[in-house]
Structure 1
Amino acid sequence: MPSTLNTEMLASAIKTKREKKGLRETAAEIGDISPATLSRVEQGNLPDVETFIKICKWLEVSTDTFVKGDKVANQELSEKEKIVFQLRSSQELDPDSIDAMIAMVDYAFKKVKKDGK
């Protein structure tokens, strides 16, 4: 199976880490990419290799994380991250529903951590 970049998952990961920060602030934090470029990547457009590597470093994940068809894809993500990324990449759910579901996932994982289970 040929490897391709999972741009939906990449976009979701950026949105998740960025949270309420603005595009300008986040682009400056990543370093040497423009807010417009970051916006395009968040919309699912394919970044150039250099930008992709910078974003992965900022996300603190291997570039393999976003490669479809690669056996190591997703191995570095926590269960919570996988759920959140999947929700954010949904084309069927509206943003308010996604935010509400992510809040429930956050609560569930905090409860598990607190209860020690």
Structure 2
Amino acid sequence: MASVAPSRIAALNRLRCSIFQTSYNPTSQRTGAKYLRRRLKGPSMMQYYPPDFNFATINKMMPGLNLIDKVEETRLEDVEAMKERGKGTPKKAKTKADSRRTARKR
């Protein structure tokens, strides 16, 4: 019985891959296809953790409770204190002439 030439086996393998739409990898290099086919972890992790509740969402769901978020109040007070000291966010330019870039170019 005669053996089949390796070139014929390679051609047959290439044809099989084109028919069944698999990747042709004659040198057996690592492609990462195993990890790309694997199921994603994100959706199952999102189901594991409960939905995020904070004071804002609870106040929107039940407006009659009027809960006060101490952390948010202190943050707003800190922002006001920074603005009073001149350390707040810069004003937005309403026109092109008001922008800092045009003021620098002059």
Given the two structures, how large is their TM-score scaled by the length of structure 1? 0.22
Greater relative contact order (CA < 8 Å, ≥ 6 in sequence): 1
Report the structure number with the largest CA radius of gyration. Answer: 2
Given the two structures, how large is their TM-score scaled by the length of structure 2? 0.23
Structure richer in helix, relative to its length: 1
